[in-house]
Structure formats: C-alpha cells, structure tokens
Amino acid sequence: MDPRAAQERLLSDVLFTLVKNKESFAFDKLMMLFPLLTEALIKEKYHEALENRNLLEKIMKEKPNIITFDSSMAKSSVQKMPPKKLPLNYISSTAQPIVTIHVLDETNNTKSDFVCGRALLVKEMKYFHDYLPEEETALSEIDISVHCDIHIFSLLMNWVKRNESPESFKLSKSNLIPVLVSADFLQIKSLVEYAAKEASYFASEINLSVLSKELIEKIAGHMKPFEIDKLKDDDIRETMYRQLVLGKSPWEKSYSIYQHL
C-alpha cells in the first residue's frame, strides 16, 4: 500500500473511533497528522464516519433509565414457556427478580415491553451489568427504558431466551447488520459470534462498511480467500486478508497457499 493510501485508511479508523465516542477534535490537527491528505478528503471521511454512526444511534440512542416499579406488573407479564430440555445449570428467564425493559422505537413511533429475569439478562447482555446491582435486596423489581428499533430488540431477546423456545433462532440477510451492531453494543458475545458467522455467508451482498474493524475481522474468521476476493470494498478486503495473515482464521493455511498461486 502506498503512503497516501495507508494514511487514508488510518484516518478512517481514527475518525470512526472519534465519532463513535463522540470526542471533540480539530481538523487542523488532523491535517498535521495526515499531511498527505487534503482538508476536503478529511472532511469527506468525517461525514462518512457520521453516516456510519447513524446505524448505531438508531439501534441504541440512550443509556438505560432505571427506576423502581410495582412488582406485580412484571409478574403478570411473564409468559409461560413450553416444556423443553434445557442445558445443565440453565438460568430461567422467569427466575426472580424480574426486569421489565420498556423499548421506545422513535423511528416507527411505537413502544413495547420485554421481561426477563435479572440473572439471565445480565449473563447474556453484559451491557446491563453496571445498571443492575447483584445484591437482591437492592433490586426489588427493575424498570429500564431504552431507545431502540423494536424488531431488532425483539431478536436480541429471542436470542437471550433461545433455550426456552421450541423454534430455532434464525437471522435474515436484511437484519444481519443491525443485529450484529446492536449485539456488539450490548455485549452479547455469543450472538456476535453467531451473527458474524451468518454474515460471512452474505458478505458480498450486505453493507459491511458500517461495521467496526473488530466486527469485520470476526466475519473474516469464517471466510475463505476466494470469498473475500468477491468483495468490492478494497479496505474491507485488506482488513480481512490481514486477519488471515495474522493466523486468527481457520483459513490461514489456505490463504498462504492462495498467495503463492
């Protein structure tokens, strides 16, 4: 890669981090750090980073708002699950105390409530760990309000309760990206791994440019070199090839052979 292209790629990574963390910065300092790039290009990359950030903003706009509420609300909302053989030491979604999550979908002007036992919710969604204390005496019953696409959040909760559902969990090509981004944001590691593998099957058909470098690398771990070759985005292909070279992919050996053909 020539020096200018290398600076352009590094700039994209830097801007993605700055925009994602909502950090302030000065364009003149960026121009000093990237002398081979024009001010117009730096501003163009900045606006691209803002557009990519919109997906995450749509999925999860605000931090949870936690308050106490009448426990009878949660108990009356808990649905009985069909009988199913569960994994050893499985934590039920109906185990007390119950957490009620009010999801507000501002884009579609709708709202919906989801309920789940605190233990299972924290186990699957690590994001909520800091908001839900471990001490049962401090919990009572918990109410959380989040801003999120209801359909996407419903898929997340289906994954959390996947062992209690008689149906297999499935994702479609159209919801792979938002589920992957939201699962990563809410720290649902098992779903991130599952969605990354599913995304690898449609990598040439979905918009990978909105994903972080880490998520792209996870997808690359499930792909073969000839599949990566089909991608149109040069930067994404390079990121995936680099992942293969680092040896974190099961296809590392295949890549090495491919390089010498």
* pLDDT confidence of residue 93: 92
pLDDT per residue as tens digits for the range 104-158? 998 889 999 999 998 999 999 999 888 887 666 666 656 688 888 999 999 999 9
pTM of the model: 0.66
Neighbours of 67 (CB within 10 A): 8
Residue 207 has φ and ψ, to the nearest 5°, of -85, 95
pLDDT of residue 244: 80
Q: How far apart are the C-alpha atoms of 121 and 98, rounded to whole Å?
A: 9
d(CA 109, CA 147): 11
Distance CA(242)–CA(250), nearest Å, equals 13
Which H, E and C letters describe 81-150, residue by residue?
CCCCCCCCCCCCCCCCCEEEEEEEECCCCEEEEEEEEHHHHHHHCHHHHHCCCCCHHHCCCEEEEEECCH
**CB atoms near residue 249 (< 10 Å):** 23
Q: What is the pLDDT of residue 14?
A: 74
Instruction: Compute the distance between CA of residue 242 and CA of residue 68 in angstroms, rounded to an integer.
Output: 49
Distance CA 254, CA 165 (A): 38
> What distance lies between CA 138 and its chain's CA centroid?
30
In this structure, which amino acid lies at residue 261?
A: L
CB 249 within 8 A of CB 216: no
Residue 38 to residue 164: CA distance in whole angstroms = 55
The CA distances from residue 138 to 141, 209, 232, in Å, are: 9, 42, 52
What separation, in Å, do the N-terminal and C-terminal C-alpha atoms of the chain show? Answer: 20
CA distance readout (Å), 231 to 196, 205, 209, 218, 220? 16, 9, 11, 16, 11
Strands 65-68 and 142-147: antiparallel
pLDDT in tens, 180-202: 999 999 999 999 999 999 999 99
Burial 74-86 (b: 16+ CB within 10 A, else e): beeeeeeeeeeee
Alpha carbons 210 and 48: distance in angstroms, whole number: 9
3-state secondary structure string, 168-208? CCCCCCCCHHHHHHHHHHCCCHHHHHHHHHHHHCCCCCCCH
Show pLDDT as tens, one digit a residue, over the chain (261 residues).
677 777 777 777 777 777 766 777 777 777 887 888 888 888 888 877 777 666 555 555 555 554 444 444 444 444 554 555 677 788 999 998 888 889 999 888 999 999 999 899 999 999 988 888 766 666 665 668 888 899 999 999 999 999 999 889 999 999 999 999 999 999 999 999 999 999 999 999 999 999 999 999 999 999 999 999 999 999 999 999 888 877 544 444 444 433 433
